[in-house]
């Protein structure tokens, strides 16, 4: 059996790493088309623009906000007119995914510079395409990973804590999904089974966020870079990225995709919805009570959602959850990488079970607090 493991060309992380960006981009040519999300362009870009321009010519464009086909078309036209030698995306996951799609369209090298650690998108060869309204449409595999991933943890530490926590939610799924794919001999993003390396990195991702997640959250609240923050940023970005792409996806991300069918969840972050998908998958796959307790405890400790109400679905009907379940179980979805058959009824039951357990634990904790 042939395995495949895929990596970004270069990964750089640390406080002040943004100062290295110009030199790194100059390796790809004299001029770079830079796609920035609005927050970066309005608040951060001025801090490092002059250092960047000393080493490479740039053309800068504001990201429209959604990784959609119309936005990719618009930016590809602009980048082509700018006659640049590379593409760079600076900002959140959708900005980075759009930069990857534009680079693929124009056959140019791509650098991704996440300013938050909220997803494992930066290192991957994928772009997740949404409708302009924000509903999941499809995942596009570009066949190559970014040439450069650069993460300045000093910038990450200044971002809202909720974004770091969302990244832990995305990372939380990595080991469970890679383990399911390993048991099923299911294909990873490269179309092969995962390697020993991929599965070991997926497990390291899980162990790292469980051990350092709370400490990293505290560091982010204080807006400082600590060893715990560095470890969790690496887990959210590199370990989770390598683990999911080379280990494979399963139920958690399919349930996330299903949840996007319901408008109330659109205001919540990717990792928050993936955390709900992970919790539901624990019931789907019959995980032991000890492990379920461990995962709920972690989510509670860092502030990830443990009920449907926490992602805007309080009082959701079974009809709506069936829409979610049917989308999660669509042909070709990663839920079919689970080692047992999964039906929409199973997904609906898993979502109801995770919600009930989350409510039970919340009620028990409230009761204990009142007793004190």
Residues with active-site annotation: 170, 253, 256, 270
* Rounded-to-integer distance, Cα 51 and Cα 249, Å: 39
* Rounded-to-integer distance, Cα 273 and Cα 152, Å: 26
Q: How many CB atoms lie within 10 A of CB 131?
A: 13
Cβ–Cβ under 8 Å, residues 127 and 146: no
C-alpha torsion sign, points 38, 41, 47, 52 = positive
Q: Where are the beta strands (DSSP E) in the chain?
A: 11-13, 31-36, 57-62, 86-91, 110-114, 126-130, 136-141, 148-151
Could you give the angle at the alpha carbon of 217 between the alpha carbons of 212 and 219, nearest 5°? 95
* Rounded-to-integer distance, Cα 313 and Cα 94, Å: 24
At CB < 8 A and 24+ separation, what contacts does 213-220 make?
213/168, 213/298, 213/301, 213/302, 214/301, 214/302, 216/164, 216/168, 217/161, 217/164, 217/165, 217/302, 217/303, 219/157, 220/156, 220/157, 220/159, 220/161, 220/164
Express the helix, strand and coil content of the chain in percent, nearest 5 each: 60, 10, 30
Per-residue buried b or exposed e for 319-339, using 16+ beta carbons within 10 Å of the residue's own CB: eebebbbebbbeeebbbbbbe
């Amino acid at each position: 059996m042939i395995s495949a493991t895929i990596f970004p060309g270069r990964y750089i992380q640390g406080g002040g790493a943004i100062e290295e960006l110009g030199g790194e981009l100059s390796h790809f040519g004299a001029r770079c088309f830079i796609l920035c999300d609005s927050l970066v362009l309005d608040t951060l870009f001025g801090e490092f623009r002059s250092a960047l321009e000393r080493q490479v010519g740039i053309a800068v464009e504001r990201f429209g906000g959604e990784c959609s086909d119309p936005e990719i078309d618009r930016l590809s036209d602009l980048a082509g007119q700018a006659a640049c030698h590379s593409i760079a995306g600076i900002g959140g996951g959708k900005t980075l995914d759009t930069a990857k799609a534009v680079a693929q369209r124009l056959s140019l090298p791509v650098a991704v510079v996440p300013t938050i650690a909220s997803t494992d998108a930066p290192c991957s060869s994928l772009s997740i395409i949404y409708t302009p309204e924000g509903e999941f449409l499809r995942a596009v595999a570009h066949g190559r990973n970014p040439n450069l991933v650069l993460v300045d943890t000093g910038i990450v530490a200044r971002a809202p804590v909720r974004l770091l926590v969302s990244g832990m939610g995305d990372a939380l799924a990595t080991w469970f999904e890679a383990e399911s794919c390993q048991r099923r001999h299911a294909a990873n993003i490269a179309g092969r089974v995962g390697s020993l390396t991929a599965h070991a990195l997926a497990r390291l991702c899980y162990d790292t966020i469980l051990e350092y997640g709370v400490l990293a959250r505290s560091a982010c609240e204080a807006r400082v870079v600590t060893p715990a923050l560095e470890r969790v940023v690496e887990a959210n970005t590199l370990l989770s990225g390598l683990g999911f792409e080379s280990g494979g996806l399963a139920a958690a991300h399919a349930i996330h995709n299903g949840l996007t069918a319901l408008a109330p969840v659109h205001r919540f972050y990717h990792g928050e919805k993936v955390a709900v998908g992970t919790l539901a998958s624990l019931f789907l796959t019959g995980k032991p009570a000890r492990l379920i307790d461990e995962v709920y405890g972690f989510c509670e400790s860092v502030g990830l959602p443990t009920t449907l109400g926490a992602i805007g679905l309080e009082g959701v009907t079974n009809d709506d959850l069936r829409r979610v379940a049917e989308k999660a179980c669509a042909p070709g979805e990663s839920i079919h990488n689970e080692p047992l058959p999964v039906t929409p009824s199973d997904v609906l039951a898993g979502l109801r079970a995770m919600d009930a357990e989350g409510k039970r634990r919340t009620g028990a904790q409230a009761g204990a607090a009142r007793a004190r």
